[in-house]
Structure 1
Amino acid sequence: MFSIRVATPLALLLLSGCVMGPDHTAPQTALPAQFNEGGQKSAGDPTSVAWWTAFHDAQLNKLVKQGIDQNLGVLQSLERIDQARAAVTSAQASLFPSLTGTASEKGSKTNGSINSSPESWASSGGLSVSWLVDLWGQYRSSAASAKASLDGAYDSVDTARLTYLSDLTKSYINARYYQKRVAIARDAVKSRRETLSLTKLQLEAGAASRLDVVQSEGLVNSTLADIPGLEASFYANAYHISTLLGLPASTLIHDLEKGGAQPTPRSAVVTGVPADLIRNRPDIRLAERTLASAVYSISTAKAQLFPSITLSGSISPSYISSSARAGTSNTWSFGPALNLPIFDGGALRANVKSKESAARGAYLAWKQTVLTGVEEVQSALAAYNRDARSVAASRAYVKSYKEALELSTASYKDGASSLLDVLDAQRQLTTAQASLATAIQQLANDYVTLNIAIGGGYAFNGKAEAIAATVRPAEMPATLAKKN
C-alpha cells in the first residue's frame, strides 16, 4: 500500500510533462524576391528612422515628438499591455498549488429557567492546499497563449505609434496645402481686382464696355467665394492635429496660422524587400502573435477532453474550553480526486473544433496582412516614383501661364487684345498654381504612405517595452489612477 501511495504522485508528475495539441511555429508564405520598382537588398531596420525630418520642417518635427507620448490611441495601447501582463500572471498562477488559511473563535452559553449550559469557547484554524495536476499541459498552454497575447499587446503599441505618425504628418501636410490654396486665391483676388480697376478706367475712356466690367467683377467674386471653404479645410486639419496631440487647439492654431511652406520630401526611400515586412511591420507581428495565441488555445481545449486529477489536503487544529472540559483536537486529510468527463453532449469536442477553426482563421488573417503589406508598399512606391514628374510638369504649367498673363495684360493695356484674354489667362494661372499645390501635397502624402508601409519610424523614441515605463499616463479620475 505504501508503494502505491509513493508511486501515484510520481506517476502524476511524469504525466504532467505531456502537452496535448500542436506547438506553434513561425508561419510562412510565398513572397516575391523584391518589390516592383524596388531594390534587391534588405532595408535593415527602418523602425527607428525619423523619416519625417526629410521635410526639413522644424514645426512638424516638434509636433511629432510632442504628441507621441500624449496621443490617446498610443496611451490606450499602453493600457492594454497592463491588461495582458495581468492575464499572464493569472494563467501562470494555475500552474501552482493554492493555499488557503482560516481562523475562527466562538463562544456559546444557554440561559433559561428550563435549560441552561455552562459557558464554552472554541478556537479553530485551518490550512487547505489544492493543486490541479497539469497532466495534459492545459495550464501551460494557457500561459503560453497569454504570453503570446502580451507580445501582441506590445505590437499593438507599435501599430498605434505608426498610425499616429501617419495621421499626424498627413494632417500637417494637408493643413499647409490648404493654407497654400488660400494664399493662391488671395493673390488671384488681388490680381483680378487690379484688372477690374483697369477695366473701369477703360470704361470711362470709352475703350471698354459695361459687360467687360461685369465679367471682371464676376471673376473677383467667384474667387472670393472659394476662400471660406479652403479656410474651413485648413482649420479642420489643424483641429485634428490638436486632437492627435491630446491638447487644446488654441495654441496650436495660433502657431499654424503664422503659415509655412508646403512640406516637400528631400530624400529617397529605401524600401528593402518583401521579407523585411514580416520583421518590421507591427501589424504583421501582431497577426502572428494572435495566431500563436490561437494555436496554444487548441492545446488547452484538447486537454479538457481527458481526466484531471486534483491533489488536495487540509489540517484543522482546534481548542475547546468550558467549565466542564478543555482540550484540543486535530483533523487532517490528503488525497487525489479524479474528474473524468464522461458525457457532455459533444461540447468539449465542439470547443476543440472551434479553437482549430479560429487558429486557421488567424493564419489566413496573418497571410492577408502580409500580402496587404506588400501591396501597400508596391502601390505607394509606384505613386511616389511618379509624383516628382507631376510636380515638375505643374511647375512648368505655372511658369507658362504666368508669362501668358503678363503678355495678355500688357496687350490689353495697349488695346491690342480683349479683356477675355486677360481673364482667361488669370483663370488658367490660378488653376495651374492650384494644380502645383495639389501635386506637392500628393508627393508629400505618398512619401508618408511609403514610409508607413515599410514600417518606418515608429520606434524613433525607443521600443514599446521602454516607452511603456516612461510615457506619461493620461489624465484619469482619481478612482482610476494607478496605485504603485
Structure 2
Amino acid sequence: MMVPKKRNGFWLILVSLAALLFGCMKVGPDYVRPQVSLSPNWSESRNQHVTTETAEYRAWWEVFNDPVLDRIIDRAYRENLSLKLAGVRVLEARAQLGVAVGGLFPQTQQASGYVNYNRLSERSYLGASSQGNIDLDYLQGQIGLNAQWEIDFWGKFRRAIESADAGLLASMADYDSTLVSLTADAASYYIRILTFRKRLDIARQNVATQKEALQIAQARFQGGTTSERDVAQARTLLFNTQATIPTLEAQLRQSENALSVLLALPPGNLENVLDGAADIPVPHPLVAVGIPADLLRRRPDVRSTELQAIAQSAQIGVAKADLLPAFSLTGSFGFLSTDVGRFGLVDMFSWKALTASGGPTFQWNILNYGRITNNIRVQDAKFQGLLISYQNTVLKAQQEVEDSLTGYLRAQVNAEFLAQSADAAKRSLDLALIQYQRGAVDFTTVLVAQQALLTAQDSFASGLGNIAGNLV
C-alpha cells in the first residue's frame, strides 16, 4: 500500500481546531433595517367613514358582496399566467438556495479510472550501448476518488446561504405582490366593465328620450307652431349623443379583452364569466385601513424590497471573504496497478495496490486585491441603492393608501351630489317637455334640460365606478 511519506495528522488537528475557532465567524455586515418615515396615522383617520382597526385584507374584495367578482377572482387565482410565472420563479429561488447550501459540503468530487499504454525508448542504463535502444511497453491502470472541501472559515458559504434564503423569501413576496396586483386588476377591470355598461345604458336611454323630443319638435314644426330651428337643434343633440355610444362600446370591449387575458382566456370570451353581473357594486361606506406601520407587514412590495436588501447585504460578506485566505482539505483514495515487474493488472483491487493521500491546502488571491476590493464596493453600492429603494417604496406605499382613501371618501360625497343632480335634471326635463308641448317655452329650454340630464346621469355612473375603484 502506498502512503504519503510525511504524516498529516498534525495538520488535520490544526485545521480542525481552526474550524472550531472560526466556525461562528462571518465577515461582512449584518443587516439592520434602515429608518423609514412613517406617519403615526392616516390624514383621514378622523373621518366618520374610516376606522383604524386592522381588518382581514387577504379577501378584501368580499366587501363588495358580489358573487360574480368572487368567481372572477377565483378563476384568476387558478388560471392567470403571470401568477404561474411568479410561482416558477419561487421554485427557481428555492433551487438556488439548495445550490448555496451545497457549498458547505465537499465542493469537488471526482471518480477516475483509466489505463495507459506507454512506449518509452531510451538507451539502456546497464551500459549495453552496443545493443542500441531498448523499447519498453507497459500497461498501467488506476481507479479512485478525489475530493476537496473548502472549510467555511470566514462565513463565505453561510453568507451565500443567507443571501439565497432572503432571495427565496423575496421571490415569495413577489408572488404575493403579483397576487395582490392580480386581484386589484381583476376587480378594476370588472368595475370598469360594469361602469361602461351603465354609461352605455344611460346613453341609449337618453337617445330614446331625445328621439321623442325630436318627434315632438317635428310635429310642432309641421303644425306651424314652431320653426325648423327646433327640429335642427333636436337632431344635433341626438346625433351628438349617438356619437358617444361607439366610443363607450370600444372602451367596454377593451376592458373585456383585458379581463379575458387576465383570466387566460382569448379576448372577448367572457360570456360565461360575467353571467349574473348587474349594477356597479357599492361597498359599505365604513372602511378599515389600520395604521401606516401595518404597511411594513401587509404590503408584499415593501417586504420584497427589504428582502432584496437583506440578500444583497449578505453578498457583501461573500465578496469580503475573497480578501482572506481559503483553507481546504483534500484527499484521494484509489487503486493503482501495472504489469511491470511482479505486479499485474489483475492485482489492482488487492491491498498492495491501495493508494491514499490527504492534507490541508491553502489559497490566497492576494495579487487580485484591487479587483476584489472593487467588487466589494460594487456589492456595497448595490446594497445602499436597495436601502434607498426600500425607503422610497415605503413612502410610495403610504402615498397610494392616502390617495386611495381620500379618493374613496371624496367619491362618496361626489356621488351623493351627482345622484341629487341626476334626479333634479330628470324632473327638469319632464317639466320642460310639458311646457314645450303647451307652447310655454321654446325648444332651447328642452335642449338644455336634455344635455343636463345626460351629463348628470353619466357623471353619476362614473362616480359610482370611482367609489368602487378607489377601494381596490
Residue 88 of structure 2 is aligned to residue 79 of structure 1: yes
For this pair of structures, how many residues does the alignment match?
A: 444
Name the CA distance, whole Å, in 1 between partners of 2:206 and 2:458: 11
1:128-277 equivalence runs, <5 A: 128-253=146-271, 256=274, 260-277=278-295
Map 1:85-96; keep pairs closer than 5 Å: 85-96=94-105
2:374 counterpart of 1:350? yes
Give the distance between the partners of 2:197 and 2:234, measured in 1 at CA: 25
- Opposite residue 336 of structure 1, the aligned amino acid is P
Deviations 1:8-46, CA, capped at 9 Å, x for gaps = 222331224321111123444342221112269864463
Structure 1 unaligned residues grouped into runs of 5+? 449-484
Q: Which structure 2 segments of 5+ residues have no match?
A: 1-6, 120-132
Deviation at 1:385, TM superposition (A): 1.7
* Contact 1:311 1:336 (8 Å CA) reproduced: yes
Secondary structure in 2 aligned to 1:343? helix
1:265-322 deviation line (CA, Å, top 9, x unaligned): 1252211111111011111111111111111111111111111112111122034459
Residue 300 of structure 2 aligns to which amino acid in structure 1?
P
Return the alpha-carbon distance in structure 2 between the equivalents of residues 395 and 2 of structure 1.
91
The answer for the alignment partner of 1:56 in structure 2 is 65
Helix, strand or coil for the counterpart of 2:113? strand
The farther-off stretch of 19-28 and 173-182 is: 19-28
Deviation at 1:204, TM superposition (A): 1.7
Map 1:292-371 → 2, pairs under 5 A: 292-320=310-338, 326=344, 327-328=347-348, 329-344=353-368, 346-371=370-395
Q: Which 10-residue stretch deviates more, 229-238 or 418-427?
A: 418-427
Corresponding residue SS for 2:288: coil
SS at match of 2:366: coil
TM-score (norm 2): 0.87
In structure 2, distance between residues paired with 1:263 and 1:248 = 26
Deviates more, 1:37-46 or 1:371-380: 37-46
Structure 1 or 2, whichever has the larger Rg, is 2
Tell me if 1:423 matches 2:451.
Answer: no
Cα distance per residue 1:448-477 (max 9 Å; x no partner):
1xxxxxxxxxxxxxxxxxxxxxxxxxxxxx
Q: Structure 2: how far apart are the matches of 1:384 and 1:248? A: 33
Secondary structure of residue in 2 paired with 1:34 = coil
Cα separation, partners in 2 of 1:334 and 1:2, compared to 1, 3 Å = closer
Supply the RMSD in Å over aligned alpha carbons: 2.6
Per the alignment, residue 27 of structure 2 pairs with 20
3-state secondary structure, aligned to 2:79: coil
Distance 1:222 1:30, change over 3 A: closer
**Structure 1 residue 68 and structure 2 residue 108: aligned?**
no
Q: Which residue of 1 aligns with 2:428?
A: 404
Residues 66 and 255 (structure 1 numbering): CA distance in 2 closer, same or farther, change over 3 Å?
A: closer
- Take 1:390 and 1:186, find their aligned partners in 2: how far apart are those partners? 24
Aligned to 1:475: none
CA distance, structure 2, for counterparts of residue 119 and residue 298 of structure 1 = 56
CA contact (8 A) 1:314 1:332 kept: yes
**Corresponding residue of 1:46:** 56
Q: Tell me the TM-score normalized by structure 1.
A: 0.85
Distance 1:68 1:134 in 2: 43
Give the Cα–Cα distance (whole angstroms) in 2 for the partners of residues 151 and 105 of structure 1. Answer: 46
TM-fit CA distance, 1:122 = 5.0
